[in-house]
Amino acid sequence: MNPQIVETVNVAREVAWLPWAVQYFFLIGISYGAFLLSLPGLVWRKPQWKSISHLALAVALICGLSAPVALLADLHQPGRFLNFYLHFNPSSWMAWGAWFIPIYVGGLLLYSWLAWRPMLAQHGRDGGRYARLAGLLAYGGHESPSALKMAALITAVGAVLVALYTGAEVMVVAARPLWNTPWLPVQFVVTALAGALGMVLLFNRMLSSPDRRTVRTVSRLLAWTQLLALFVGASWLLLGLSGWSEVHSMALAQVAPADNWRLLAVWAVLATVVTFLLAWKRPGSGLLIGLLALHSTWMMRWSIFMGGQEVPKTGAGYYSYQLPMGPEGLLGIIGTLGLWIFLFIALTSLLPLNRLAGSESH
Amino acid sequence: MKIERRELIAAGGLAAFAAGFSQTLGRMADSVVGKSTGEKRLHGHSAEPEYQVDVATGEVRLNPNQQVSYTGCLGCTTLCGVRVRIDKRTGNVIRVTGNPYNPLSTEPHLPMNVSFKESLAALSRYQDKGLAGRSTACGRGNAALDQINSPFRVLTPLKRVGPRNSGKWEPISFEQLIEEVVEGGDLFGEGYVDGLRALRDLETPIDPGNPALGPKVNQVGHIVSVNDGRDLLGRRFWQNAYGTLNYVGHGSYCGGSWRSGSGALFGDHRGMPHGKPDLANAEFVLFIGTAPGNAGNPFKRTGAMLAQGRADGRLEYVVIDPALTNADNRAAGEQGRWVPIRPGTDGALLLGMMRWLLENDRVNRAYLSYPTLKAAQAHGEPSFTTASWLVVTEPGHPRYGRYLRGSMMGLDIGDAEAFGDKDPYLAVDAQGNIQPVDAIQGEARLQVDMQVDVKGQALRVRTGFELLTDSIRSKTIAEYADECGIPVEVVEGLADKFSSHGRKACAVAHGGMMSGSGFYNAYSVVTLNALIGNLNWKGGFVMNGGGFRDASPGPRYDLVNFPGKIQPKGIPLGRNVPYERTNEFRKKKEQGQAYPAQDGWFPGAPGLATEWFASTFHGYPYSLKALILWMANPLYGIPGLRERFGKDLADPSKLPLIISIDPLINESNAFADYIVPDSLMYEGWGWTSAWNGVPTKSMTARWPVIEPRQAKTADGQPVSMESFVFALAKAMDLPGFGKEGLRDADGRPVPLEKAEDWYFRGGANIAYLGAKPVGDATDEDIAMSGVDKLLPGLKAALKEDEWRKVAMLYSRGGRYEQPSGAQDAENPQWQNHRFKASLWVWSEHIGGARNAVTGKHYPGCASWSRPAFLDGTPMREVYPEQDWPFLLISFKSALQNSYSIATRITGLHPENPVIVHPEDAAPLGLKNGSKARLQTPNGMMECTVLVHAGVMRGVIAVEHGYGHRELGARSHVMGDKTQPDRSDLKAGVNLNDLGIVDPTRSSRSPWVDAVSGAAVRQGLPGRLMAA
Amino acid sequence: MSFPCRPSVRSREDRPDAGRRMFLRGIPVVTAAAAAMPAPAIAGNGGKHRWAMLVDIRKCIGCQACTVACIQENAVPEGSFRTVVSTYSVSVTDSGQPAGTYVLPRLCNHCDNPPCVPVCPVGATFKQDDGIVVVDGDRCVGCAYCVQACPYDARFINHETGKADKCTFCAHRLEVGLLPACVETCVGGARIFGDLNDPDGELNRLLAENREHLKVLKPEAGTSPQVFYIGLDESFQGKVVGEAALWKPRHAAV
Ligand SMILES: Nc1nc2c(c(=O)[nH]1)N[C@H]1C(S)=C(S)[C@@H](COP(=O)(O)OP(=O)(O)OC[C@H]3O[C@@H](n4cnc5c(=O)[nH]c(N)nc54)[C@H](O)[C@@H]3O)O[C@H]1N2
Ligand SMILES: Nc1nc2c(c(=O)[nH]1)N[C@H]1C(S)=C(S)[C@@H](COP(=O)(O)OP(=O)(O)OC[C@H]3O[C@@H](n4cnc5c(=O)[nH]c(N)nc54)[C@H](O)[C@@H]3O)O[C@H]1N2
Ligand code: SF4
Ligand code: SF4
Ligand code: SF4
Ligand code: SF4
Ligand code: SF4
Ligand SMILES: [Mo]
């Protein structure tokens, strides 16, 4: 005796977190992931990591600066962001995030500056366009290893807090079973790392002579992240299917009946497997692997945020979200991309990628 | 070079950034600049409350920025009394709820002697009064105010530019409008058009060879929708001053069959009275083709009482309907039931039930056997029937199908006319003697089948009851069950249940009767009630309390009679008179072959807008020269009309002049030559009574509680139906209007030149009717209720003792009888407002008449035959099931009406997917949401399907109120203004675009019921295909 | 999820002809009053008022008067809703009645333990002493975190104000002795409103009278809703498993 229910009148709720949120989580994730990749070469001074770490720091900085702008745009009252600091509500992860982001981004700026001062100074000396500016910014251009370590530590703390809060903020939303699983923050971190690696591959490719060693190291790491992602995904599914974990079962139950979710799941698994295989078997195909990884990082966030909001909390079936053309949709995404490109060009004008990667000498 | 390209890209990036973040930046700027939105900290943009009530004392304090007034809603034909809340600063309506004095909005309603101020307290939290005394407006009624400032309104007179229906208009002055429509001329550069002056020819016959048709003035026809409280002024002008016979309402495409079928039992084919269940006290109600709480009249009152009854556990009900609607509520469980039925087969169900009643001795024979009201009342019955009266059943006899009368039996009837009212009906008394019914004090025999001697000729006579019994026994219950698709045990169960609650059971119908067997289905519904004798009983089948007539030769002013008043004559355009009264009949009879007539005639029907278009475009009986549409939309509302006659309407050579009086452009007046703007709802005047379903007397006052938005005439009146007819009357110098248009009770003339002249004096009549006039409004009532702005007018138009009483009516939003007036004070089990004439279990008016096309007698009682065309050909013979496997029906949207599409309620439910049963959808490969094509023999359209089990198998159900082409769905051009593009309002489908024409008629008129002439919109043959 | 039969309220089984009328019985119906569910927590307090609503679904006719009245009263932008009456066609296999209508008025539950409150980064959303959960428009940054956190889809971002919006129980009307707009205009009389701290009030009387029939939406969410229902079926208590309504919302330009 199963009731069949067909909704005849109901309203669909709009998504309240717009694609801005996806962009923020995408960029901030890549940023903190890339920041971590900068440590071996710059802080621990592993020579084989030098090039990777410099590129990674560029990734971290560009993404880390554009992310909060996207976040700001997701507020419907962006002019009131000061309220985050005037009216702190400790029970809200988002409130904490408002403090963590400046720590992280501030630390990151300091850390990058300290890391790149010598190079900026060098650029200033070598002349060329923007050389003067680079020289000014270098402000002497000394190396300061202990300061760098301090800055790295601050940034690292910031990065961990950001990773923690971004995961927790979404995970605590019990009203959305799809978000409300303890695996979610882990998935965020793993895919953030994969995205960071992918972006490093991309930057590496832009060098006048891409470093093949970089490609191999990064690909190998990427393969691991994909394996990890598969493992996390499989355990998510297992927990959901077995009924051992109620939150996972609920999450699965919400999306399992939908065709587009099933398609998405298959897609995600395939993409991860392909990326893994390529990265493992053909670590040389750097750009493709990088793009695949970035695509998965984006997809995961898009489906979690936008797809998650397509699941009504009370109504039957699903809402269907269509990407609007305006600022709240496509134009917004293009805008963030524009900002990102601007930052990229600004940075690489001051510090050309080749110089950063130390590949000029090759 | 390279570097410059990078910079270009960077600049592009920045530009994209600026565009993408423009909104964000704008918002940031807003909050810096502090753009004020007038918000409250916690309440946002919520409206200021209209008044305050001290919950300790009940003291009321008004908000000086707002006005609260009681007037009427026109969100649907229920015409509820409402409370309108106006922002005085903008003149806009903020929100609308119910008027607590009004029984259509409140149960029980407040007595009139409660002051205006106290009425506000009665709606508040003070002592939780507002919960028990809740006075409401429905979803549509709440949304309707959106139309007031709608960009689709017509605000100035419009004249078409280019061909009809081209959507282009030129705004003209009121003076030009009057000049052109009165005088005519080459108005559109298409040749000469007769104006209303020329068309008002009261002498020359339309057809000199057939003067019975009446004078040429009858070629001006007028269609109005519903009486919104102004109809009697309209009739006074068009019928009694201008002089045309042809003035009809929308009845024939609303619930015409129900009304006609009911009119047969109630013995009145003009007024067509009908009863309603007494929902406040009933125990069991059978809703057959009316969906309480989903639609129905009165919509809100029915819905509220149904809800109350089922939640209390007092009321059980069953809804017989091919489609599931909001009449059902699973939370109320077994108190309410939905039983699906095959469309158009209600007669089978009903006769099956009657057969069970007969066989199980559940027919109330004692009741049926009282031949007069006197006899009935003496035995505790508040109503009586003709069941025992004798009917002539001798085949071939000229009185066949009519009642045996005293004069036939040689009774001395003095100088009374034979077969007139005074010529007695006869019955057989308990002793076996034939007697005038008045002479029988007790029971008369119900079963009589005998020969009587009439002037030496032996005539077979039988009682109406016998004839009904024959009709009922013509099929077995199993056969009936098979016809209607309802299992035998359900048919029997329904009969059992229906007859197990004494008089607290009732059956009622409406829109579901609009099928090809509608008249007899409806007659069967009311006959079922007669079989248990529930009429006039508390909890049973009860009559409307009615209104207080404004337009009457009333106690204060005579609004009816005037010197020069015209009684229009002739044959009505809708052919709703017996064929036997026509010239054609006489001529054909002389030639030896009286039947068939050229086309159908409908003796059992009132004015038939449904038939008008076939009539005029085929010239049978004659054609119109001008058509006036006043708030009517027949092209949207009558199935098949647009498909069949759209082209003709667009052709000025076929119908030279079309004038519409309407605040909006709808599917019909889009074809007009001129549109006269009219007031909308709260801007207008009127006196409306409850259409039905209110057991106490009520009269709602409609008055302009907001400033009309239309343009004004030179003398400052808003352009409207009223100012239009006043100006026409003046231009043509018509009687009954002008400086001495009306007379007071003493016969002294008073003017009728503006709306107030009419409505205030009507109000005076209302105030003074009944045993005691209403009391006077106090200064406080007047000041608080917004009636103060009427004062100068009231004082000018009325006498010193009158104006405060009329102000009383406006302050209370009408005149309402005490709620306790529902039941008889002496006999509380009886209703107070009772139907006192006989119930015609056998209708001689129908049973004695013939179908003009076949020449066959109509059955004169409840009976069952399958849906058929005019000549009796069953629909399924022409359109068999193999070819047309589905039956299409429509049901009213629970949310929309036919013109509420451009309001906020549409956003909640913007279109109407057609409902298909899962088992019908599967073989067609259709799923919920699939696109499909729906087809009938007369058309095809694209639709979306909604698949669920809330529809009978083999039926496709279409929610009515969508599929618009106008009312915003098309953007019209008016001078240099273009209406906004809201093509989203086209969404969905209108079943009437697929309505079918009667293939057995040469006029190819849209399919109508053969007896009632009512539009057939239920049970159309159809197909469904995946798109 | 089961869809149990409601035991007949008034037993007429002893009547001789009950058999024939069985078609009127046994239609699986919503309202599982069957097993005793713990009555939901009703949160009175020591304060002056504690507002709450009772929705008697049996009395709802799905007319959406409440929905539109709320829109007009509170200037809710096109495409958004503070309250709505979800309407369903429900069919149960093997039952006498092939399908039935189920309606469910939904609004903010003014949860006693509202998950929308702790997430608000700026403390703009809070529960007043009188139990009403409100948004401080002077403070709200429009981050929509509360919209995500509400388990009932009761909140939205108002595009005209750029802030979180939701039912306020029409607090602006309560303050001046009036009833909420949706209650005032409820055609079926399904919405009953009052003060839990008023022992003699109509609300308390009805709550007491129907104690064992009371239910709330998503009781497992631990939110302690203060909108109570009579006639709430299990199948509709949480996210409804079924097919979604066939239309796209028409939002004002965002
Ligand atoms: N919500 C709403 N309410 C309204 C109106 C409105 O537009 N919207 N309009 C008002 C007006 S003008 C009127 S006349 C009333 C009409 O009120 P109703 O008569 O109650 O409404 P209808 O939808 O015309 O018809 C009633 C039901 O008949 C069913 N039906 C169709 N064919 C058959 C059949 O062959 N047999 C049986 N038994 N049932 C059948 C339909 O599915 C429908 O549910 O409503 C008034 N109230
Ligand atoms: N398929 C199908 N067809 C149906 C029905 C159905 O259920 N299914 N229902 C039938 C029924 S019951 C009826 S009653 C008819 C109704 O059909 P009609 O009575 O012909 O017209 P309506 O469409 O109700 O409205 C007439 C016009 O009045 C105008 N109007 C609106 N408000 C005001 C106002 O305040 N003042 C003035 N002056 N004018 C105003 C609008 O332009 C509107 O188009 O349709 C019938 N047609
Ligand atoms: S039932 Fe009709 S008249 Fe009454 S409030 Fe609703 S729309 Fe208005
Ligand atoms: S229903 Fe939602 S918005 Fe309302 S109080 Fe509960 S959690 Fe908050
Ligand atoms: S939208 Fe406003 S109320 Fe909601 S969480 Fe954000 S700041 Fe708080
Ligand atoms: S209480 Fe007021 S705000 Fe809440 S749903 Fe009702 S009308 Fe809307
Ligand atoms: S107003 Fe009342 S009856 Fe109408 S839908 Fe809302 S809750 Fe139901
Ligand atoms: Mo109607």
| pLDDT tens digits, B203-232 | 999 999 999 999 999 999 999 999 999 999
Position B34 scores a pLDDT of 59
- Residues of C in Cβ contact (< 8 Å) with A97: 121
Q: Does the beta-carbon distance from B29 to A79 stay under 8 Å?
A: yes
Distance B710 CA to ligand 2 centre (A): 21
- pLDDT averaged over chain B? 96
Q: What is the pLDDT of residues A133-154, one digit of tens each?
A: 988 898 888 888 999 999 999 9
Q: What is the pLDDT of residues B6-54, one digit of tens each?
A: 889 999 999 999 999 988 888 888 776 656 667 888 999 999 999 999 9
Q: What is the pLDDT of residues B181-209, one digit of tens each?
A: 999 999 999 999 999 999 999 999 999 99
Q: For B53-149, CATH number?
A: 2.20.25.90
Compare CB distances from B27 to A6, A77, A337 and report the shortest one's residue.
Answer: A77
Position C38 scores a pLDDT of 67
Q: Which are the contacts of B535, defined by CB distance < 8 A and separation ≥ 6? A: B275, B382, B383, B529, B541, B542, B835, B839
Buried b (16+ CB within 10 A) or exposed e, C87-114: bbbbbbeebbbbbbbbbbbbbbbbbbeb
**Is residue B574 over pLDDT 60?**
yes
SS3 B940: strand
What's the distance, CA B996 to chain centroid? Answer: 22
With cut-offs at 50, 70 and 90, classify the pLDDT of residue A2: low
CB B128 within 8 A of CB B69: no
Strands B674-676 and B657-661: parallel
Domain segments of chain B as ranges: 1-35, 53-149, 175-251+584-676, 859-1026
Q: How far is C25 from chain B (nearest CA, A)?
A: 6
SS3 per-residue string spanning B453-518: EECCEEEEEEEHHHHHHHHHCCCCHHHHHHHHCCCHHHHHHHHHHHCCCCCCEEEEECHHHCECCH
C104 close to ligand 5 (CB < 6 Angstrom): no
Rounded Cα gap, residues A339 and A352, in angstroms: 18
**Is residue A338 over pLDDT 60?**
yes
Helix (H) / strand (E) element for B638: namely none
Q: What is the pLDDT of residues A76-95, one digit of tens each?
A: 999 999 999 999 999 999 99
Any idea which residue has 């015209």 for tokens? B566
**Is residue B524 over pLDDT 50?**
yes
Distance B126 CA to ligand 3 centre (A): 27
Q: Does the beta-carbon distance from B13 to A337 stay under 8 Å?
A: yes
pLDDT > 90 fraction of chain B, expressed in percent and rounded = 96
CB B1013 within 8 A of CB B574: yes
Position with higher pLDDT, B767 vs A354: B767
Q: What is the DSSP string of B152-203?
A: T---S-EEE-SSTTSSEEEE--HHHHHHHHHHEES-SSSS-EE-HHHH--SS
Position C252 scores a pLDDT of 40
Position A333 scores a pLDDT of 95
Q: Choose the residue to mutate in B610, B633, B914 for probing ligand 2, maximizing ligand atoms within 8 Å of C-beta.
A: B633
**DSSP code at position B821:** G
Q: What is the pLDDT of residues B326-342, one digit of tens each?
A: 999 999 988 999 999 99
CATH of B175-251+584-676 given 3.40.50, 1.10.3470, 3.80.10, 3.30.2000? 3.40.50
List all residues of chain C from 43 to 102 with a beta carbon under 8 Å from chain A: 62, 64, 79-81, 84-95, 102
The strand order across the sheet containing B449-454 reads B390-392, B457-463, B449-454
CA end-to-end span of chain C: 38
Q: Does the beta-carbon distance from B20 to A129 stay under 8 Å?
A: no
Rounded Cα gap, residues A57 and A36, in angstroms: 9
Rounded Cα gap, residues B140 and B73, in angstroms: 10
> Which regions of chain C does DSSP assign to beta strands (E)?
51-56, 84-92, 100-106, 125-127, 133-135, 156-158, 163-165, 191-195, 214-215, 227-230
Rounded Cα gap, residues B398 and B382, in angstroms: 34
CB B360 within 8 A of CB B814: no
Position C47 scores a pLDDT of 77
CB C74 within 8 A of CB C161: no
What are C220's two structure tokens? 């497992």
C131 close to ligand 4 (CB < 6 Angstrom): no
Q: Rounded to the nearest 5°, which phi and psi values hold at B220?
A: -105, 115
Q: How far is A115 from chain B (nearest CA, A)?
A: 24
Largest interatomic CA distance in chain A: 82
Rounded Cα gap, residues C180 and B249, in angstroms: 39
Q: Does the beta-carbon distance from C139 to A83 stay under 8 Å?
A: yes
Torsion of CA B286, B288, B290, B292, to 10 degrees: 20
Position B952 scores a pLDDT of 97
Quickly name the fold that domain B859-1026 has.
Barwin-like endoglucanases (2.40.40)
C57 close to ligand 7 (CB < 6 Angstrom): no
Distance C125 CA to ligand 5 centre (A): 6
Torsion of CA A160, A162, A165, A167, to 10 degrees: -80
Q: Determine which of A7, A15, A99 to mutate to test the interface with C (most C C-beta atoms within 10 Å).
A: A7
Position B766 scores a pLDDT of 98
Question: Which candidate, A269, A267, A254, A271, places its Cα nearest to that of A307?
Answer: A254
Whether A332 contacts chain B with CB within 8 A: yes
Q: Is B355 exposed, middle or buried (0-12, 13-18, 19+ CB in 10 A)?
A: buried
**Is residue A115 over pLDDT 80?**
yes
pTM for this model (two decimals): 0.96
CA geometry: angle at C147 spanning C143 and C153, to 5°?
Answer: 165
C134 close to ligand 7 (CB < 6 Angstrom): no
Q: What is the pLDDT of residues A262-285, one digit of tens each?
A: 888 889 899 999 999 998 888 877
Q: Which of B408-422, B615-629, B943-957 has the lowest mean pLDDT?
A: B408-422
SS3 A264: helix
Query: Which neighbouring-strand residues pair with B87?
Result: B66, B92
Distances (CA, A) of A192 to A25, A26, A52, A164, A196: 9, 7, 16, 12, 6
CB B849 within 8 A of CB B305: no
What's the distance, CA B53 to chain centroid? Answer: 39
What ipTM was reported for this prediction? 0.96
Buried b (16+ CB within 10 A) or exposed e, A151-190: bbebbbebbebbbbbbbbbbbbbbbbbbbbbebbbbbbbb
Q: How far is A342 from chain B (nearest CA, A)?
A: 5
Buried b (16+ CB within 10 A) or exposed e, B37-64: eebeebbbbbbebbbbbebeebebeebe
- Residues of A in Cβ contact (< 8 Å) with C102: 5
Rounded Cα gap, residues B665 and B971, in angstroms: 10
SS3 B977: strand
What are B89's two structure tokens? 């600063």
Size of interface B-C (CB pairs under 8 A): 295
Q: Rounded to the nearest 5°, which phi and psi values hold at B860?
A: -100, 15
Rounded Cα gap, residues B435 and B427, in angstroms: 6
Any idea which residue has 């409601």 for tokens? C6
**DSSP code at position B558:** E
Rounded Cα gap, residues A74 and C144, in angstroms: 9
Region B174-180: mean pLDDT is 98
- Residues of C in Cβ contact (< 8 Å) with B107: none
C164 close to ligand 4 (CB < 6 Angstrom): no
Distances (CA, A) of C12 to A141, B336, B501: 96, 16, 13
Rounded Cα gap, residues A231 and A249, in angstroms: 17
Query: Which neighbouring-strand residues pair with B460?
Result: B451
With cut-offs at 50, 70 and 90, classify the pLDDT of residue B3: low
Q: What is the DSSP string of B330-392?
A: GGGGGGEEEE---TT-HHHHHHHHHHHHHHTT-S-HHHHT--SHHHHHHTT-S--BSTTBEEE
- Residues of B in Cβ contact (< 8 Å) with A335: 16-21
Position C24 scores a pLDDT of 46
Rounded Cα gap, residues B658 and B650, in angstroms: 10
Rounded Cα gap, residues B350 and B507, in angstroms: 10
Rounded Cα gap, residues B521 and B510, in angstroms: 10
- Residues of A in Cβ contact (< 8 Å) with C148: 16-17, 173, 175-176, 179, 309
CB B847 within 8 A of CB B858: yes
CB B351 within 8 A of CB B505: no
- Mean pLDDT per 10-residue interval, chain C, length 254 residues: 32 39 46 56 84 98 98 96 97 82 98 98 97 96 97 96 96 97 98 96 96 95 97 94 77 40
Position A1 scores a pLDDT of 45
- Nearest-by-CA chain C residue for A80: C141
Count how many residues are written for chain A: 362
CB B677 within 8 A of CB B154: yes
Q: What is the pLDDT of residues B294-328, one digit of tens each?
A: 999 999 999 999 999 999 999 999 999 999 999 99
Q: What is the pLDDT of residues B256-269, one digit of tens each?
A: 999 999 999 999 99
> Which regions of B759-900 does DSSP assign to beta strands (E)?
814-816, 886-892
Rounded Cα gap, residues A290 and A295, in angstroms: 9
Question: Which candidate, B668, B670, B655, places its Cα nearest to that of B617?
Answer: B655
> Which regions of B18-65 does DSSP assign to beta strands (E)?
51-53, 60-62
Q: What is the pLDDT of residues B47-75, one digit of tens each?
A: 999 999 999 999 999 999 999 999 999 99
Rounded Cα gap, residues B531 and B320, in angstroms: 19
Domain segments of chain C as ranges: 51-232
Rounded Cα gap, residues C64 and C57, in angstroms: 13
Distances (CA, A) of B241 to B741, C21, C145, C166: 11, 59, 69, 57
Q: For C51-232, CATH number?
A: 3.30.70.20
